[in-house]
Amino acid sequence: MADGSVVRAFDAYAARAQFPILSRTVNGRPLVYLDSAASAQKPQAVIDAISGAMSGSYANVHRGLHTLANETTEAFEGARATVARFLNAEAETNIVFTKGGTEAINLVAAGVGQSIQPGDEIIVSQMEHHSNIVPWHMLRERYGAVLKWAPVLDDGSLDMAGFEALLTPRTKIVAVTHMSNVLGTINPITEITRLAHKAGARVLIDGCQGAVHAAPDVQAIGCDWYVLTGHKLYGPTGIGALYGTAEALESLPPWQGGGEMIETVEEDRVTYAKAPHRFEAGTPPILEAIGLGAALDWLMGFDKAQVIAHEQALYAHARARLDGVDGLRVLGEADGKGAILTFTVDGAHAHDIAQIMDRYGVAVRAGLHCAEPLARRMGVTSSARASFALYNTKEDADAFVDALIKRASSLSDDHGRQADHR
């Protein structure tokens, strides 16, 4: 690591032991938490960091000269430096704290909207989360921007030829996910960025999943903006971050007005602070930022390649065991995908699957996963999703598969009984 910290070999069982909640039971069975793509659990290091800040050294930041204010400001800005290190940003000033990935995307969209002209084009992909769709729709509604959709292939991969064909001199923004929250697809974001820049467009990468399950390096990617959220990175809710190049951040006007984001305020004029503070109006999420910094410090203590390999091995194990299950369809099987297993079962609604699996202590997500255009592209009205994290084990994967096979078997028996009565 750049700061000289020791990176330790990854042990899933040792990592799991650092999450207090994972020792509980649900419906009389050990908790198998497979909903980390929605929100991950928190290690003791994060819990301690937030509790310690509240109980030992808390004050508002940037606004006092007393000891507590200085200590809290140091911890808050230290968290910003940790995010910069995690993303390999050029400097701490490239990192803007937000309340999450959604706010970060909205900040960029609102700023870009000040210069959007009717007919200007914005490209998103069919696999985007609503958070990376709706803000751009707002520019379509308000300013006449044209929203264009990069297609997804049947295996869940992005149609790169189709994407490149959409680029024109009118393309202003390309906004794509690093990793799909439904398909697990990891997009070739460096190549996407290269092609978009060649066409004269700016690039925003939604890294809310990719920051967790890939290894983002924003300087290597070359994107203009990269977004992450804390609660999927084993940190608290209510905190996220926007990375932007110095030039890209400078191109955005202030978004919200208030304290901290100004240099001077007079009766007839106002001048604004430089990035990142110009985008952080009011009292920031202090404790949440400290918690995010603790989560990233904890996460960066592991060998990232080993973590990724562990998660993908769990996915591969579960996927192999599910081969041949009647009526099962897995959505997204692109090469190199992340450890997200989204599926449907003939004759069963996803909500029913999730509720039945909960009886076995297995927590999975069900529904549209905030990705309606993708659901329509894949021809489904809902699906269930098991998402693996670094604290999951082979026993978790087996418990998930066992519960799903029991559910599928009961459906098969029901269909057989119905056929006997025809």
What are the pLDDT tens digits along the chain (422 aa)?
Answer: 445 467 889 999 999 999 999 999 999 999 999 999 999 999 999 999 999 999 999 999 997 889 999 999 999 999 999 999 999 999 999 999 999 999 999 999 999 999 999 999 999 999 999 999 999 999 999 999 999 999 999 999 999 999 999 999 999 999 999 999 999 999 999 999 999 999 999 999 999 999 999 999 999 999 999 999 999 999 999 999 999 999 999 999 999 999 999 999 999 999 999 999 999 999 999 999 999 999 999 999 999 999 999 999 999 999 999 998 999 999 999 999 999 999 999 999 999 999 999 999 999 999 999 999 999 999 999 999 999 999 999 999 999 999 999 876 665 554 444 434 44
Which helix (H) or strand (E) segment is 33 a member of? strand 32-33
What is the reported pLDDT for 418? Answer: 43
What is the reported pLDDT for 420? Answer: 43
Q: Where are the domains of the chain?
A: 12-30+303-420, 47-299
Topology, domain 12-30+303-420: Aspartate Aminotransferase, domain 1 (3.90.1150)
Which helix (H) or strand (E) segment is 112 a member of? helix 101-113
Q: Are 304 and 5 in contact (CB under 8 A)?
A: no
- Secondary-structure percent of the chain, ordered helix, strand, coil, rounded to 5: 45, 20, 40
Spatial separation of the C-alpha atoms in residues 72 and 78, rounded to whole Å: 10
What is the reported pLDDT for 3? Answer: 55
Which helix (H) or strand (E) segment is 63 a member of? none
Q: Give the catalytic positions in this structure.
A: 370
The pTM is what?
Answer: 0.95
Q: Are 104 and 240 in contact (CB under 8 A)?
A: yes
CATH code for the part of the protein at 47-299? 3.40.640.10
Identity of the residue numbered 244: G
**Residue of 404, 401, 407 lying closest to 318 (CA atoms):** 401
Spatial separation of the C-alpha atoms in residues 112 and 135, rounded to whole Å: 11
> What secondary structure letter does DSSP report for 35?
B
What is the reported pLDDT for 109? Answer: 98
What is the reported pLDDT for 63? Answer: 79
Q: Are 207 and 185 in contact (CB under 8 A)?
A: no
139, β-bridge pairs: none
- Burial of 299-329, coded b for 16+ CB within 10 Å and e otherwise, reads bbebeeebbbebbbebbeebbebbeebeebe
Spatial separation of the C-alpha atoms in residues 360 and 403, rounded to whole Å: 7
Residue 246 Cα distances to 89, 192, 334, angstroms: 10, 20, 34
What is the reported pLDDT for 5? Answer: 64
